[in-house]
Amino acid sequence: MDPAGELAARLGLPVADRALFERALVHGSFTNEHPEAPIGSNERLEYLGDAVVSLVVSEALYQRHPEEDEGALTARRAALVSTQALARVAGRLGLGELIVLGQGAERTGERRRASVLAATFEAVVAAVYLDQGFATARTWLTGLMEDLLDARIPAASLKSPKSRLQELSYVRWGAPPVYRLVSAEGPDHAKRYVVDVLVGERALGRGEGGNRRNAETEAADRALEVLEVKREVPPALDASPFPGEPSPESGT
């Protein structure tokens, strides 16, 4: 497969600088394993793409939701530029199958990880911006996210997983969740964080990410899934900290 050529075809844009789109698909794990490779990782493009996505989404929401105040618009934007949301948009382009990974990352399933998909999508956005200019990038991106930008979901329901978990934890058990760093491994430029979140002294979710914030967000999202399934059971009394796993006390 020619990942860059396939990406260009899926974007439906007249790509001028093919090297930009090749780089947008290269994960840091590949360059770590192949330092001699002529093309670098997508990390710099990810940095730029993050800013482009934020600006385009902010402008679109400002225009499409004139009845909402700053707080509501901020909550809506946070939901749309979150790791989980951008990973879903990346799925619309099938980016997961196009990412160029190192063998170690391939074995650990990084191709399917939300943080990797979101970062790759931001790198692709930056490549479109540099190759085509802001006007084209804005038109393309708003078209890709049209339904999300126009969604009439109440802004209150768009809060980040960490905010929602904190509110839920205070309401039900009178205390905030606690995030515990499990590990932080790898070189400084490609460190992987693993974080557990504890609610009522029970570990309810584990998350991983390229920074601690993303790992905590993923952990909170997992915890919310557990609490939604078992919403009448306080975590400290729950029989199992994770769905389908035995309780530490069970000895099984």
Tokens coding 113? 């990880």
Which of 179, 187, 52 minimizes the C-alpha distance to 122? 52
Return contacts of 186-193, CB within 8 angstroms, 24+ apart.
187/32, 189/28, 189/43, 190/28, 190/29, 190/32
d(CA 240, CA 167): 22
Tokens coding 55? 């600006």
d(CA 18, CA 15): 6
Which of 141, 125, 123, 128 minimizes the C-alpha distance to 45? 123
What residue type is assigned to position 78 of the chain? Answer: A
Sheet holding 192-199, edge to edge: 178-185, 192-199, 202-209
Any idea which residues carry the catalytic annotation? 50, 122
Which of 179, 167, 160, 168 minimizes the C-alpha distance to 219? 179
Nearest 5°: phi and psi at 203?
-70, 115
Tokens coding 198? 């504890």
d(CA 127, CA 93): 15
End-to-end CA distance of the chain: 45
